[in-house]
């Protein structure tokens, strides 16, 4: 049995027996974990090292699988997460929700260290890049050390007792790893935010019902004929359906061929959306409807 869990404008399906288990990419304390809590509230989280492992976790055999996964799809500063688009195209999953969280970088050190002894700062390369102005203004002499993960840099400093190194990560990571917080909001662009989508197995029971303020995501491929993309998008725009996003991605193993990821406003059960999708299916080589879900962004 599955029930609908509503949080603000969002609504998702979750198991009635026990708390949902939700996978995300990264170490405990990653921004993706914050996105899980923003969407579901407190649930059992399953951190995994790669996005590929996160997608695969949805299809593991009974007893080991997760109920949902939360994956990043775009950042307001860095742009699209190409690997997520590719895995949505190749995996047997559907989108059941979305959320967006601000990226608020924090500067932290080992709990037994003092700021006067710091000579290095560690984070994911994007974390370092997003705090470059702050570091240049306040800590120009520190060596910048790239790490595999923002939260992972805090974990590494704790585990290895690196008292000469600071980390740039989330405040959640600071709490989890018992670090000393030196500064909040050290990102250069305070509008920095990441949008995440919530995915489930394609055959998971239940689906979100229309709310009147929904978004639908699809992926399709077209022929190489002139105007094929325009005609495909016209299946939606001609019915007054507003497009929220159009993204092209190269198709793996097929040089110079592309798939197109499209978000549009409306639910697949709405009459005009259903008709548009039916026509889109006829006018494209391949169409994958990823799902309809309450709009949050």
Q: Are 179 and 111 in contact (CB under 8 A)?
A: yes
Q: Cα separation of 245 and 46, whole Å?
A: 29
Q: Is 194 a catalytic residue?
A: yes
3-class secondary structure, 194: strand
Options 40, 55, 68, 196, the catalytic residue: 196
Map out the domains of the chain with their CATH numbers: 18-101+192-201 (3.40.190.10), 106-184 (3.40.190.10), 214-294 (3.30.70.260)
Question: Angle, to 10 degrees, between the axis of helix 271-283 and the axis of helix 228-237?
Answer: 170
pLDDT at residue 95, rounded to an integer: 97
Q: Is 196 a catalytic residue?
A: yes
Options 194, 216, 222, 284, the catalytic residue: 194
Q: Cα separation of 88 and 67, whole Å?
A: 17
260: nearest Cα among 291, 285, 294: 285
Q: Tens digit of pLDDT for each residue in 194-244?
A: 999 999 999 887 777 899 999 999 999 998 888 899 999 999 999 999 999
Contacts (Cβ under 8 Å, ≥6 apart) of 286: 220, 221, 259
pLDDT at residue 252, rounded to an integer: 81
7: nearest Cα among 264, 194, 211, 199: 211
Contacts (Cβ under 8 Å, ≥6 apart) of 59: 65, 91, 92, 201
Low-confidence ranges of the chain (pLDDT < 50): 1-12, 14-16
């Amino acid at each position: 049995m599955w029930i609908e869990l509503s949080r603000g404008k969002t609504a998702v399906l979750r198991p009635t027996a026990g708390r949902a288990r939700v996978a995300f990419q990264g170490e405990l304390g990653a921004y993706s974990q914050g996105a899980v809590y923003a969407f579901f509230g407190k649930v059992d989280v399953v951190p995994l090292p790669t996005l590929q492992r996160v997608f695969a976790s949805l299809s593991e055999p009974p007893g080991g699988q997760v109920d949902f996964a939360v994956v990043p799809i775009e950042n307001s500063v860095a742009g699209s997460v190409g690997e997520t688009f590719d895995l949505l195209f190749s995996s047997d999953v559907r989108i059941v929700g979305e959320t967006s969280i601000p990226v608020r970088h924090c500067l932290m050190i080992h709990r037994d260290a003092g700021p006067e002894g710091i000579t290095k700062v560690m984070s994911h390369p994007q974390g370092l890049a997003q705090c470059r102005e702050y570091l240049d203004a306040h800590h120009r002499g520190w060596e910048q050390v790239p790490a595999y993960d923002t939260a992972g840099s805090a974990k590494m400093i704790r585990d290895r007792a690196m008292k000469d190194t600071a980390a740039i990560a989330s405040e959640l990571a600071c709490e989890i790893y018992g670090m000393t917080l030196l500064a909040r909001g050290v990102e250069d662009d305070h509008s920095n935010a990441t949008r995440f989508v919530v995915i489930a197995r394609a055959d998971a029971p239940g689906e979100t019902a229309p709310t009147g303020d929904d978004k639908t995501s699809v992926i399709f491929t077209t022929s190489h004929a002139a105007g094929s993309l325009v005609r495909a998008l016209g299946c939606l725009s001609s019915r007054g359906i507003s497009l929220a996003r159009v993204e092209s991605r190269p198709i793996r193993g097929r040089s110079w061929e592309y798939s197109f990821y499209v978000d549009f406003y409306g639910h697949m059960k709405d009459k005009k959306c259903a008709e548009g999708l039916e026509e889109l299916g006829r006018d494209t080589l391949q169409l994958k409807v990823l799902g309809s879900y309450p709009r949050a962004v």
